[in-house]
Copies of this chain bind each other. A is one copy, B any other.
């Protein structure tokens, strides 16, 4: 069979653990690739160009937009963030599923262009658990924590636009849930039209 890759969009509350799940997933299974976004914000300490993000200038970013070189992009707090098209399309044609960690606006842009994309929303098991995780990091000020919780309230409005929710209680379970969801998605008739057509033709020839 000619397996074509699927775009997996992952969103979720800050602190729900989506980054951790996706890192564990791609480490465990090699049929998944994590897309790297481009951004115009400056690298933070420890961030490496091409690993966390492609760090590019405003001019470079706007040129990519003009050339339709991004499959989605958005502006947050005066900085651009976007997903380069080439990487995604290359992987898909190699049969690799590409995971994009993006916010809801981007997720909906993707679904419009790629109706087959699978949209996941990662949630904590409870709101108090989310708060605990945000505080547990110990790196954020009270202000930032409040901002993230408020943003979670806003983001929670969009959950119904997603295909699946992943309730991140235990990491290993969440990794398996995501793997199950993607494996199942590969079994839709629409993604197996060639196979179905082959069987039909063979049956008629028997």
Q: Which residues of A contact B (CB under 8 A)?
A: 121, 123-124, 126-128, 130-131, 149, 152-153, 156, 159-160, 162-167, 177, 180-181, 183-185, 187-190, 192, 195-196, 198-200, 202-206
How many angstroms between the C-alpha atoms of A189 and B162 in the bound complex? 7
- Determine whether the beta carbon of A164 is less than 8 Å from that of B187: yes
B residues less than 8 Å from A187 (CB atoms) = 164-167, 177, 181
B residues less than 8 Å from A160 (CB atoms) = 189-190, 196
- Determine whether the beta carbon of B183 is less than 8 Å from that of A165: no
Contact sample, A vs B, 10 pairs, CB 8 Å cutoff = A127-B203, A130-B203, A153-B204, A156-B200, A159-B189, A163-B189, A165-B196, A167-B187, A181-B184, A184-B185
Q: What's the dominant secondary structure at chain A's contact region?
A: helix
- Determine whether the beta carbon of A203 is less than 8 Å from that of B152: yes
The one of B121, B124, B205 in contact with A189, judged by C-beta atoms closer than 8 angstroms, is: B121
The one of B130, B200, B202 in contact with A128, judged by C-beta atoms closer than 8 angstroms, is: B202
> In whole Å, how far is A172's beta carbon from the nearest beta carbon of chain B?
14
- Determine whether the beta carbon of B203 is less than 8 Å from that of A153: yes
How many angstroms between the C-alpha atoms of A154 and B198 in the bound complex? 15
B residues less than 8 Å from A204 (CB atoms) = 153
Known: A152-B203, A203-B127, A206-B131. A165 touches B184 (CB 8 A): no
Output the nearest chain B residue to A180 by Cβ-Cβ distance.
Answer: B180
- Determine whether the beta carbon of B164 is less than 8 Å from that of A196: no
The one of B149, B183, B195 in contact with A177, judged by C-beta atoms closer than 8 angstroms, is: B183
- Determine whether the beta carbon of A163 is less than 8 Å from that of B188: yes
Output the nearest chain B residue to A145 by Cβ-Cβ distance.
Answer: B206
